[in-house]
Amino acid sequence: MKRMRRASTKPELLVRKQLHRRGLRFRVNHPGLPGRPDIAFTRARLAVFVDGCFWHRCPEHGVIPKHNREWWEAKLRRNVERDREKDTALFALGWHVRHFWEHEDPARVAEEVTHLRRRLLDEPAPNTRSPGAL
């Protein structure tokens, strides 16, 4: 398990690339926040996690290995509990938390994150002018 990447996995990189392409800037694995969110928008107080299907027990793709099943069930159950604990800690700090699965389309994830960030910041949609602007 030491060889498993904890940060900058391929699904994360694909989402980050899509967000960057949309002109968004963010913190990666913010060390000052509970759970070190994969992507953090500090002004909007939005924490985004891209969860692996195996490690976070995706309802569609999560499987339990047949060998040493009890140990794996406890391990994966604890991962999910830890996710909820860090979400609670982030909520207590006034952050909004959004989780996505690694199998979700990165472009769709980036679009949803973009809309949520804009709504949290109460920004006007791009290419719109305020009334009275020339």
pLDDT for 57 beyond 60: yes
Provide the pLDDT for residue 7: 74
Distance in angstroms (rounded) separating the CA atoms of residues 37 and 52: 14
Range 70-107 burial, b when 16+ CB lie within 10 A, else e: eeeeeebeeeeeebeebbeebeeeebbbbebbbeeebe
Provide the pLDDT for residue 8: 79
131: which 2 tokens?
A: 């009334």
Per-residue pLDDT of 90-128, as tens digits, reads 999 999 999 999 999 999 999 999 999 999 998 655 554
pTM for the predicted model, two decimal places: 0.84
Distance in angstroms (rounded) separating the CA atoms of residues 17 and 10: 10
Structure-model confidence comparison of residues 122 and 47, the more confident one: 47
Element (H, E) at 1: none
Average pLDDT over residues 55-76: 92
Share of the chain above pLDDT 90, in %: 78
Distance in angstroms (rounded) separating the CA atoms of residues 65 and 93: 36
| Chosen CATH of 10-43+50-121 out of 3.90.180.10, 3.40.960.10, 3.40.50.2000, 3.20.10.10 | 3.40.960.10
> What average pLDDT does the chain have?
89
Least confident stretch, 5-14, 17-26, 87-96: 5-14
Provide the pLDDT for residue 72: 95
Domain ranges of the chain: 10-43+50-121
Distance in angstroms (rounded) separating the CA atoms of residues 48 and 99: 6
pLDDT for 133 beyond 60: no
